[in-house]
A and B are shown apart, each in its own frame.
Chain A
């Protein structure tokens, strides 16, 4: 079935280090969305990627969509304590949105 694998499940970094989370699908996606959930909060939409090979930036966050539209990554440069939370990707298969399991990011100051 349609499934989005997200790794790593958990990452603990020193403040200032970089962080990357990856999502993979065995079948082609229509698009991919990324959400952030702060501790105790609810998921909040960050961005959507639609085109093959697309790269988008939001300040220190860089989002990529693979050429085959089967994988995506979120990279955070020089993490800050405000980056803590769980990052989810959600792949779109036609009209169906399937979430990855999420990556929990902890930042040591």
Chain B
């Protein structure tokens, strides 16, 4: 079974802080994704990566950056947290084969005060 581990389940940060959300997967998958989930909006793609040191912007990258130094780890960075970034953040991974499903981590609920 694929295991996708997000380092924190709940996080509370102050406006302006730099925030790191970590995600680690154990299946040697090339592809990793960061989504945010908000009520009524579904899951929206922030950034994704198809390989080490490679990153691509998703649909809502503003205010975020990512880092992928190792294949198993994909980090989401909020350079200067703002209250509108309060959300559930979900990391996901997928095998390289076409049409493979996403495997999600348990999510990090971030509150920015």
Contacts and interface: CB of A to CB of B under 8 A. Distances in A.
B35, B45, B90, B101, most chain A CB atoms within 10 A: B101
Contacts of B35: 99
A55 interface: no
B99 A43 contact: no
Interface string B14-52: 000000000000000000000100001111110000000
A88 B90 contact: no
Contacts of B90: 42-43
Contacts of A31: 99
A62 B99 CA distance: 20
B106 A99 contact: no
Nearest to B92: A43
Interface residues of B, number: 16
Contacts of B107: 42
A92 B99 contact: yes
B106 A42 contact: yes
B21 to A, nearest CB: 14
Range of interface residues on chain A? 20 to 34
A41 B37 CA distance: 12
Given A31-B99, A48-B99, A92-B99, A99 B104 contact: no
A92 B102 CA distance: 12
Nearest to A1: B59
B106 A41 contact: yes
11 contacts: A35-B102, A43-B90, A45-B101, A50-B99, A88-B43, A92-B99, A97-B102, A99-B42, A101-B40, A101-B42, A102-B42
Given A45-B101, A101-B40, 18 more contacts: A33-B102, A35-B102, A42-B104, A42-B105, A43-B43, A43-B104, A45-B102, A45-B103, A48-B101, A88-B42, A88-B43, A90-B43, A90-B102, A92-B99, A97-B45, A97-B102, A99-B35, A102-B42
Q: Which 7 A-B pairs have the closest CB atoms?
A: A45-B101, A101-B42, A42-B104, A99-B43, A99-B42, A43-B104, A102-B42
